[in-house]
Amino acid sequence: MAISDNSRQSLLPTFLYSTPSLTKRLFNLESSLMKAEHRTPFISLGDVGGRASRVVVPSPKEGKIELFSPAFYAACTVGGMLCCGITHTAVTPLDIVKCNMQIDPTKYKSITSGFGVLVKEQGAKGLFKGWAPTLVGYSAQGAFKYGFYEFFKKYYSDIVGPEYAAKYKTLIYLAGSASAELIADVALCPMEAVKVRVQTQPGFARGLSDGLPKILKAEGVAGLYKGLVPLWGRQIPYTMMKFASFETIVELIYKYSIPTPKQECSTALQLGVSFGGGYIAGVLCAVVSHPADNLVSFLNNAKGATVGDAVKKLGVMGLLTRGLPLRIFMIGTLTGTQWGIYDSFKVFVGL
């Protein structure tokens, strides 16, 4: 069976998206009919002339999305928007305590005491301050992050060709994720500035509706983007670790921990692997990006402050460790859940 011209148009190596069984069917030439929809069901009508007669029943294409089509990238964008917006908003209470521990460690000494101080001073509603800029900002960031990651992963693979893409696949993951996050943070930065001030400056604003105009009036658009470079410093290493380590961890789980081939595992098991791999990746992400996270919180909270001011006040150890245990728990849970939601959405739309 000759491989069609359409399959030659993309140089993206099949290992990035294809299952082993698909590759085997394509190149071991099991059936030309099976190639179109991976498996074309048939009905046996008994023997005719000593051989089984088969009537081919084409598989329905409902819910199927062609790889690398506009619909594919749109689905990845929506999936990213949902998984990031929902998860970051859900952990708002943890994020508030974490930010306050970074800004005022003498007042917010630990996780438990931090929650106690917050509830005592602001009531239960104080646990969800800043949820609106969190939802808007991280939904936009997730949309650009996941959508452009899929785009750049294919783009860089096509540039280097299938041989080098397969040989240096981790570099493809790293380059694709870094490029995507560079764009995504431009969308996130204004909302992050509003979120940090609402959460760490009592009386500054109730939320997004009055916080955003207040910053614009006092500092202009520049005030919304003064934390962009530290945000890149936090998010780009975070995202590179998030995608590259996730891809590698999941591959190792299927290779060494699960005896059943991935394509034969149940959907529930595959989603469980996604969550587990995502959680481990999230822990690594938290450690790598934590110093920059402290910088972002400090700069967005202190008007006119510089990176030098932050280093001088917090110290190197403070940058590395302040609020780290809580952030490890938060980011591990958040990242694992994100991958679970994202992969569930891809299953739902037929990817």
pLDDT tens for 129-174 read: 999 999 999 999 999 999 999 999 999 999 999 999 999 999 999 9
Average pLDDT score over residue span 223-235: 92
Of the pLDDT bands very low, low, confident and very high (cuts 50, 70, 90), residue 197 is very high
What integer pLDDT is reported at residue 166 of this predicted model?
92
Report residue 234 as tokens.
Answer: 């936090």
Could you report the per-residue pLDDT of 108-132, keeping only the tens digit for each? 988 889 999 999 999 998 999 999 9
Give residue 110's pLDDT: 87
Give per-residue pLDDT as tens, 7-64.
434 444 444 544 444 444 333 433 443 444 444 343 333 443 444 443 333 333 445 7
Neighbouring-strand partners of residue 44: 54
**For residue 235, what pLDDT band results from cuts at 50, 70 and 90?**
very high
Residue with tokens 């919304």: 224
Residue range 70-349 forms a domain whose CATH class is: mainly alpha
Per-residue confidence (pLDDT) for residue 312, from 0 to 100: 87
pLDDT of residue 305: 81
Q: What are 259-317's pLDDT values in tens digits?
A: 888 889 998 999 999 999 999 999 999 999 999 888 888 887 777 788 888 888 888 89
Q: What is residue 55's predicted lDDT score, i.e. its pLDDT?
A: 37
Rg over alpha carbons for the chain, rounded to the nearest Å, is 24
Query: What percent of the chain clears pLDDT 70, i.e. is strictly above it?
Result: 82
pLDDT band at 104, cuts 50/70/90?
confident
pLDDT for 238 equals 92
What global pTM score does this model have?
0.75
Question: What is the SS3 assignment for the chain?
Answer: CCCCHHHHCCCCCHHHCCCHHHHHHHHCCCCHHHHHHCCCCEEEEEEECCEEEEEECCCCCCCCCCCCCHHHHHHHHHHHHHHHHHHHHHCHHHHHHHHHHHHCCCCCCCHHHHHHHHHHHHCHHHHHCCHHHHHHHHHHHHHHHHHHHHHHHHHHHHHHCHHHHHHCHHHHHHHHHHHHHHHHHHHHHHHHHHHHHHHHCCCCCCCHHHHHHHHHHHHCHHHHHCCHHHHHHHHHHHHHHHHHHHHHHHHHHHHHCCCCCHHHCCHHHHHHHHHHHHHHHHHHHHHHHHHHHHHHHHHHHCCCCCHHHHHHHHHHHHHHHCCHHHHHHHHHHHHHHHHHHHHHHHHHHCC
pLDDT at position 19: 44
**Model confidence at 102: pLDDT above 90:** no
* Mean pLDDT across the chain: 83
**pLDDT reported for residue 308:** 86
Q: What's the confidence (pLDDT) of residue 171?
A: 95
Domain boundaries defined on the chain: 70-349
Arithmetic mean of pLDDT, 244-271: 91
The pLDDT assigned to 48 comes to: 39
